A and B are shown apart, each in its own frame.
Chain A
């Protein structure tokens, strides 16, 4: 059955309209594409980062069903025998798993997997084995004079490394040579997503200073996992790939939440714009539609033709949007991967894979927004009596009457937002609902604000500045409220996001800065380039530092991953006596003699940890130790932005007594008054050339931390930029709409003697007034949003309290950006205006 003739005629009629207004059609499609693109990009980034990690975990795990890890970071190798002999275990293989740098691979880290080739064969296809590898090479792998490694082909090709050559691994303050025996045997290179080296476990223990310890034991279980779990010693934990993935998902939760929140707000702006574009395309044909109705076309055919048109538009916009989203994700994935590595866990730059699921999300968003955008106005016009439809003013009259209703609805949204902010203590969902409702409230306030603002501005421009163009521009905006208020609302939403998020980031950065100022009181820091490296510092270095007469104090610290109630947290081992003298911790709770309590075996907990586990001073935390679980009293809650998972601080003396672990990862050096840290820095670099640490001043250390901070929020900037672009396309479309709808009035101005330049200026004024209105709305909405983000979203998802700082530069920059962008948005419409043949437009002949 074919399409009814009426609808086909109408479709042809509508498509001709787009051919006549090609630029509008392009703007319209771009609006849809950008809206869809933002959603697709964020989805792609979120899923790709996790998929990349999960596939890497799965590939490295081979056939292992489970892994055994330590509740406090490392497993005593003596425990392996009992695991291996357990009747529930079919296969068990000990593993050393280390990220390390090498001189040859520059900045790129290599993952060194130490395995026992005799035990590992059943688990991993790529493990070298007695039968599958050349006997001489296999012997060299096990007991060569230089430790042998098999390296992934990608690393060898990338850095031009060959079989038989040696590479220098930087570890534990020493340069260790390892020999490349070849490419990883039996490895499907396509599945290898990272830089991987396989070596014998004993060689790995030796090279990486882990003699006597294992990082984990990979096993194939044949019995009941729960029964086996119950048999495990207290200090060990049983995990499987899905548990690991869910742990990582939980770790990434806050990070992804940030991106998702931005994408939702961007979607909000995008939908607004799609609605605006579609509505404009329908309403600008209102008179045509009314005429068609007068000629006998039926309402249903009219609506059907418009809906069909929106399907075409939605399809084109969605496909382009998916491509655009893919490009944005591809462009930003390296930055996001590096941020995840800095903050959470190591991942190689993730591969962007467009799945059907994500594509469908993009298409659904594009279609729904376009259908709503086209359907609602088409219905309205189709079911309006033709004679009313012919009167353009009828729509504007309705818009003016509606603004009071919208204002009341806005007030309701405003109150709902406040209620949701209060309810955010029960669920983060309400925090987002609050931000959404507040943004919606101000969007609904827009017509009510825009109309009197334009009246006042118009009069002021005419009487104060004798600017006729400004006066006419203000009046035209007011006269086209049905168009302009939607564009201004969309721009105001985008700007509010910018102001709100920028103020939040500025406040956050200032709070972090103040925290670093108090925490980093040392003159010099020796610390790993990434927190994922846990090799200890060489003892010789510590001895040298202790002997140096210029040094007053050395604070030794290490950070290990631990599990608290089954969730990963960080345990930071600190020198309480040194910190008490030198640092300025911010104690939020438990301010009475905290250092004495720490030295006596209590712990400090960070705000996120207190929030996640609902802990306060006086409570206890149960930690895994080599002797089983042990409770530690919580002395204080301290401000600490180092991890959103939560951090515990424990005194080194207490830790070493209980965990028997003297490893030190980093030190802070406090110089004697008047002594310069620079000679010490130079001597460390000279004396320990293989030290895989950065040796930096506190200023540099602070800068490095803030660089990571800025990287964390880099994707936010991209999303913000795209949202703003979408909103500005809205301004351009609104100006084009005014141009088309008010062409007659503009022509009359020409008859009255307005020059093309003056008409163009009027157009620029229109854009600027719309920008100004959006900016003023966004300043108020943005500040309120900051409070919602900080108190109802950030605190509820990260547990961090942030002091709010207002940065005048954020407002000045947003103002300038809006003004410049609005002028740019007005350029094309102004150009069109200057070229438009005005003669004859007003003729009734």
Chain B
């Protein structure tokens, strides 16, 4: 069976404007299976976001190749990359990044609108799945941080992507709400067999990873396997 994601000798470098070359990623190799969940750790500036952007098709590597579901995505046109993100990738951000001008429902339906699918029932179902029944017509500013992140998770998952990229999804939340959000992500990914790459600082999230990696000076280092067991919350 072919893997969902395969990074082969991927490097990224750029000039910092002062004549120096910066290597946020060096010779990264990674293979991920369908439904696998990995956690990416690392200090600020270690290249975690660059890694997510490369995998998510927002940026291209300087060297190496990235395969998604057996197809190479490096070198695709911007339009093809947008299509890839539209169909196959869901992003969850630290700052939620909901559109303040759109209602919860409109924010949620945006990915489906992009795909030309107009299934409001699906949107409502998704909202219910994240525990936000009755919030459809509200604006993001009327929700708490935790609720906004739930909407963001629903938005990322509504199109049923094969890959979820989460960048510090609990960074702006208190630990209690953060735990609830992590559980929610875990459950939904588990139930839908969605592959997850999550960047985090938090050790609280380690339990949900099948594998965990650390980015250090641009190199991806695998750490000791984590237990894929949800902690007891009692």
Contacts and interface: CB of A to CB of B under 8 A. Distances in A.
B87 interface: yes
Interface in A823-841: 838-840
A845 B44 contact: yes
Interface in A801-840: 838-840
Interface stretch (A222-230, A681-689, A747-755): A747-755
A842 B96 CA distance: 10
Contacts of B86: 752-754
A232 interface: no
A839 B56 CA distance: 10
Contacts of A845: 44-45, 48-49, 167-168
Nearest to A756: B78
B118 interface: yes
B119 interface: no
Contacts of B155: 752
Nearest to B152: A748
Contact of B101 (A475, A752, A755): A475
A842 B100 contact: no
A844 B201 CA distance: 13
A843 B82 contact: no
B58 A755 contact: no
B216 interface: no
B97 A753 contact: no
A844 B118 CA distance: 32
Contacts of B97: 744-745, 748, 751, 842
Given A753-B83, A753-B86, A753-B114, A839 B58 contact: yes
Contacts of A750: 58, 82, 85
Contacts of B91: 751-752
Best-buried of A745, A751, A754 by chain B (most CB within 10 Å): A751
Nearest to B95: A844
Interface in A449-499: 462, 466, 468, 471, 475-476, 478-479
Contacts of A753: 82-87, 89, 111, 114
Contacts, number: 86
B135 interface: no
A478 B102 CA distance: 11
Contacts of B33: none
A755 B78 contact: yes
A479 B100 contact: yes
A393 interface: yes
B59 interface: yes
Given A839-B53, A842-B93, A845-B44, A752 B111 contact: yes
Contacts of B53: 839-840
Given A393-B100, A479-B101, A845-B44, A755 B79 contact: yes
A468 B91 CA distance: 19
Contacts of B93: 748, 842, 844
A843 B52 CA distance: 10
A429 B69 CA distance: 76
A757 interface: yes
A478 B141 CA distance: 16
B58 A751 contact: yes
Nearest to B83: A753
Given A479-B100, A844-B171, A462 B113 contact: yes
B132 to A, nearest CB: 19
Interface in B152-176: 155, 167-168, 171-172
Nearest to B171: A844
Interface in B54-110: 56, 58-59, 78-79, 82-87, 89, 91, 93-95, 97, 99-102, 110
B113 A755 contact: no
B163 to A, nearest CB: 13
Interface in B172-218: 172
Contacts of A478: 101
Contacts of B56: 751
B116 interface: yes
A755 B49 contact: no
A466 B109 CA distance: 13
Contacts of A393: 100, 141
A742 to B, nearest CB: 9
A114 B168 CA distance: 96
B95 A842 contact: yes
Contact of A466 (B58, B87, B111, B118): B118
Contacts of A840: 49-50, 53, 58-59
A744 B87 CA distance: 21
A752 B156 CA distance: 8
Best-buried of A468, A478, A755 by chain B (most CB within 10 Å): A755
Interface in A740-780: 744-745, 748, 750-758
B58 A838 contact: yes
A1 B138 CA distance: 57
Given A751-B58, A756-B78, A840-B53, A468 B114 contact: yes
A751 B45 CA distance: 21
B167 A757 contact: no
Contact of B99 (A466, A468, A745, A843): A745
A468 B118 CA distance: 11
A752 B114 contact: yes
Given A754-B82, A755-B79, A839-B53, A475 B58 contact: no
Contacts of B171: 844
A42 B47 CA distance: 60
A748 B56 CA distance: 12
Nearest to B59: A839
B62 to A, nearest CB: 14
A751 B85 contact: yes
A476 B101 contact: yes
B54 to A, nearest CB: 9
B58 A752 contact: no
A772 B110 CA distance: 25
A845 B100 CA distance: 22
Contacts of A758: 82
Contacts of B94: 844
Best-buried of B45, B85, B87 by chain A (most CB within 10 Å): B85
A393 B98 CA distance: 13
The 5 A-B pairs at the shortest CB distance, nearest first, are namely A753-B86, A479-B101, A755-B82, A839-B58, A753-B85
29 contacts: A393-B100, A393-B141, A466-B116, A466-B118, A468-B113, A471-B113, A475-B102, A476-B101, A748-B97, A750-B58, A750-B85, A751-B56, A751-B85, A751-B97, A752-B86, A752-B111, A753-B89, A754-B114, A755-B78, A755-B82, A756-B82, A758-B82, A840-B50, A840-B58, A840-B59, A844-B167, A844-B168, A845-B49, A845-B167
